[in-house]
Amino acid sequence: MVLGFRSQVRFSRAVVVHISMGTSNNCSNNIESSATSCVSNCRSQFSQTVSEIVEEENPDGRILETPNLKVFTFVELRPQPRTSLRCWAKAVSGKCTKSEVNFIGRLSHPNLVKLLGYCWEEKELLLVYEFMQKGSLENHLFRRNPAVEPISWETRLKIAIGAARGLAFLHFSDVIYRDFKAPNILLDGFNDHSIEPSNIFPSCNDFGSCLHLHTYNAKISDFGLAKLGPSGGDSHVTTRVMGTYGYAAPEYIATGHLYVKSDVYGFGVLLLEMMTGLRALDTKRPDGQQNLVDWLKPTLSHKRKYKTLMDGRIEGQYSSKAALLTAELTLKCLEHDPKNRPSMKEAVEALERIESLNKERSTDPSKSGSIHSSTPPRHGQQSSKRRSAGPIRGKS
């Protein structure tokens, strides 16, 4: 695999992913035609697969015939005066770049980050995405700054539902995401405090509620590891194991067999993180507690113990019933056998029912009973510095 350098740069309302490409058999070596080739050469296999999908109603998303991408010049992408510049680096291959262009360029859904276009100058390829003002879910869920209010249970449910809808649409489109995790869930938001609230939501009487409705919308990003799902009656595809420790499904790590429901396992890990406020993998935790699923999955099945899993920072924001249903859904998603896991469509429906319970509780005083458990001792054992789950590389 040929690795390059990848960085994310904020240019006004867009995010630019910058890649210094190395020589790869997966992309043309002709610099002038490489960008076009990376878009067009991948198109045929995906088109054939999409044509085999049974026609279904999907009101929120659609599969485009061709990627509707704009070709930018570097001059157009230069930051304007007083515009902040943010960068991060990530090693990728030319093949991963083709996957992103092919998949995200043709899939249109409110819960998938939109690829706006690309810029190819000399040996530099830049993928231009819409800018997500609030950054990643990881930054909001795991921060331990006492001066910053943690994201509420209501917001966590909203994010989980949005991410689940995006993942369900990918599966509908016969795409396996393969690297579902909190850092890859991006959140939009309204950050321009210079504009009067009445000008943003002129017909809204409760600005706070309207602002919440239009912020923290979750979108799945980073499609570098996405794969086409099995075809011809096969239950899985066999591929080199890539992904992130702590999120990757056990059958995938053990055998390299990638199922559609391997993504569902990763979603279950995310649900457990959102319940607890703890990372999937944290080497700063004591032995036996570093892998969140191995540590806490047995507790999910105990109706008298699952309450102790809930993040103490959001105590009183949910009903016992909502917490129980969330624990049950999480446990189903984390089933060892992929056949026993729910589909993402079923997960969306379950989360929407939980959200309805939460809304009923917030509007009906008679249903305002909440969990009043003390903060679990395990939360107090955590260091304020946590390490993210590490990448899986090179296992066949």
Tell me the catalytic residues: 179
Phi-psi region of 394 (alpha: psi -120 to 50; beta: other; left: phi over 0): left
Length of the chain: 396
Do 353 and 361 contact (CB within 8 A), yes or no?
Answer: no
| C-alpha Rg value of the chain to the nearest Å | 21
Angle at 235 between CA 234 and CA 240, to 5 degrees: 95
Closest C-alpha to 97, from 32, 22, 166: 22
User: Which candidate, 107, 113, 153, places its Cα nearest to that of 134?
Assistant: 113
Count the Cβ atoms, other than its own, within 10 Å of residue 357.
18
User: Residues 6 or more apart from 364 whose CB is under 8 A from it?
Assistant: none
d(CA 325, CA 328): 5
Report the distance separating Cα 345 and Cα 264, nearest Å: 10
Report residue 311 as tokens: 């993040």
Q: Strand (E) positions, 86-205?
A: 107-108, 115-121, 124-130, 175-176, 185-187
Task: Tell me the β-bridge partners of 112.
Answer: 220
DSSP 244-266: ETTTS-HHHHHH-EE-TTHHHHH
Ramachandran quadrant class, 12 (left: phi over 0; alpha: psi -120 to 50; beta: rest): left
Smallest CA-to-CA distance from 382 within 293, 324, 311 is with: 311
Sorted by sequence, the CB contacts under 8 Å of residue 36 that are 6+ apart come out as none
8 Å CB contact between 273 and 180: no
How far is the CA of 356 from the CAs of 157, 318, 323, in angstroms?
10, 12, 13
Asked whether the beta carbons of 120 and 47 are under 8 A apart, the reply is no
Q: Give me the amino acid identity at 379.
A: H
